[in-house]
Structures are given as structure tokens and as C-alpha cells.
């Protein structure tokens, strides 16, 4: 029987230093289009890069995103002959990157369902099962803007369950209305939905039951991946 082996033997700063392949901090920062201060903070362990920056570093260094982010090297081994075995499966779920559209773009494009994923993100089987979710129904969406700030900040990663049967009162959903994609907290009322955002500068949207069909629920937010700079 084959299993997946975990060779997670380094910290992120060690993996980053290894990926630099002898380059100076200045040269490496220039290679990745980042500041020297940011790279030094990563190397000191003071901060950890966002998903976006991890993707850039992995691409520039020609290393595995999965290894750079988690330290996991995935190798097939014979579990009968090797005691150091990682027994949980790792699912890879698609990641969609939300752009900030102009008014003209918003009138003619969708930004999730008709846009291909930009990458995949590893999720441990145990977490998926613990939450009672179907890994095949999960996607990650990079939030943009301040509609749900401070609960969801610009560039946070959101794991969404696209298997939506019933609307959960108070949960946060990614919603498409016409050609605009947005996040809202849904409150159930006798007459329909209230689509609420945390930022008071944006109004609450009242949706009567007769208009439910105009709103497409992409998925419910089940985990917020915070950006750390």
C-alpha cells in the first residue's frame, strides 16, 4: 500500500534561505520584486508571506509551492518498510483570484465561475472530514476590497463550500448578482434576505423572496485564511 510521506524538517525561514541559492538579500528581493525589509523579516521569522507572495517566490525560485508553504515533500513510499509515514491524504482545491473590476469590466465579466483557477492549495483530509465537508466542493477565493472588514480584510483567502442546500442565518456567502461578485453576511427574515456588510459605508441590500432567483450563491465561507505580512 502506498502512502504520502512527510519530510517536514525545516522551518519556513530555512526553506526560504535554501531557495535563495546563495543570492544576497538585496539580489533576491530584486528577483522577487519585493523590498529587502520584507525578505529580511521572512528570514528572521518575524513575519510570514501571504498566499500571493508565496506563489511569486515559488515561481521565481522554481520550487514547489506546497513545499515552500508547508515543508511537505510528497513521496510515495512503502508503508510496510518505512515507519515515517504521513497517513492523511492531501486534497488540492482550486484557488480563484478576485480582481477589482472597472465599471466596464463588471458589466461584461464574471470573476469566479467563468474564470479558471490561478493555482491549487493543499488541504489536509482530517480537517475536511472534521468539518463534515466534501473536498470536491471546496474552492478558495482571494477577497478584495473592504466590504467585510475587519472580519475579512483585503487579500484574505476564503475557503468556500460550494455545496449550498440551505442558507445558514448569519453566515457569509460569496454571491453573484448580474455580473458583479461580492461577499455578504446573510440574515433571514420573514420576507426574504438581508445582505449585510461590516463596512457601514456600504448599504444593506434587501432581497425579497420573489428576487431570490436573481442572486447566485457561489458558496459559504467556512474558513478565513488571514494574510500575515
Q: Which fold has domain 98-225?
A: Umud Fragment, subunit A (2.10.109)
Which pLDDT belongs to residue 85? 45
Q: What is the pTM of this model?
A: 0.56
> pLDDT category, 167, cuts 50, 70, 90?
very high
Chain centroid to CA 186: 21
The answer, yes or no, to whether residue 229 has pLDDT greater than 50, is no
CA–CA–CA angle 35, 36, 41 (5° rounding) = 105
Which pLDDT belongs to residue 120? 78
Per the CB < 8 A criterion, the answer to whether 196 and 182 are in contact is no
77-114 per-position pLDDT tens digit:
454 554 444 556 888 887 776 544 455 554 554 445 45
Which pLDDT belongs to residue 195? 95
Per the CB < 8 A criterion, the answer to whether 115 and 96 are in contact is yes
Q: Which fold has domain 6-76?
A: 434 Repressor (Amino-terminal Domain) (1.10.260)
Most distant CA pair in the chain: distance in Å?
64
Residue boundaries of the structural domains of the chain: 6-76, 98-225
Closest CA to 158 of 185, 177, 189: 185
Which pLDDT belongs to residue 208? 96
The answer, yes or no, to whether residue 119 has pLDDT greater than 70, is yes
For 94, phi then psi, to 5°, come to -70, 145
185-206 per-position pLDDT tens digit:
999 999 999 999 888 888 899 9
Burial class (CB in 10 A: 0-12, 13-18, 19+), 124: middle
- Helix segments in 62-133, DSSP class H: 65-70, 103-106, 125-130
**Which of 50-64, 69-83, 111-125, 211-225 has the weakest average pLDDT?**
69-83
20-62 per-position pLDDT tens digit:
988 999 999 899 889 999 999 888 888 888 888 888 898 888 8
Selected residue with higher pLDDT from 52 and 6: 52
Residue with cell 525561514: 13
Cis peptide before 112 (omega within 30 of 0): no
Amino acid at each position: 500500500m502506498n502512502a504520502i510521506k512527510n519530510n517536514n524538517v525545516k522551518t519556513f525561514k530555512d526553506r526560504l534561505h535554501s531557495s535563495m541559492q546563495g543570492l544576497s538579500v538585496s539580489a533576491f528581493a530584486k528577483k522577487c520584486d519585493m523590498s529587502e525589509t520584507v525578505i529580511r523579516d521572512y528570514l528572521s521569522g518575524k513575519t510570514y508571506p501571504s498566499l500571493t507572495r508565496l506563489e511569486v517566490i515559488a515561481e521565481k525560485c522554481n520550487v514547489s509551492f506546497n513545499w515552500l508553504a508547508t515543508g511537505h515533500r510528497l513521496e510515495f513510499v512503502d508503508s510496510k518498510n518505512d515507519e515515517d509515514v504521513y497517513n492523511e491524504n492531501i486534497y488540492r482545491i482550486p484557488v480563484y483570484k478576485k480582481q477589482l473590476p472597472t465599471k466596464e469590466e463588471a458589466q461584461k465579466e464574471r470573476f469566479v465561475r467563468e474564470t479558471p483557477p490561478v493555482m491549487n492549495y493543499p488541504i489536509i483530509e482530517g480537517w475536511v472530514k472534521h468539518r463534515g465537508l466534501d473536498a470536491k466542493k471546496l474552492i478558495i477565493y482571494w477577497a478584495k476590497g473592504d466590504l467585510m472588514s475587519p472580519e475579512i480584510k483585503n487579500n484574505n483567502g476564503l475557503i468556500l463550500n460550494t455545496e449550498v442546500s440551505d442558507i445558514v442565518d448569519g453566515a457569509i456567502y460569496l454571491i453573484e448578482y448580474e455580473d458583479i461578485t461580492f461577499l455578504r453576511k446573510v440574515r433571514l427574515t420573514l420576507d426574504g434576505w438581508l445582505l449585510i456588510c461590516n463596512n457601514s459605508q456600504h448599504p444593506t441590500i434587501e432581497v425579497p423572496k420573489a428576487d431570490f432567483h436573481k442572486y447566485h450563491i457561489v458558496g459559504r465561507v467556512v474558513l478565513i485564511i488571514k494574510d500575515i505580512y
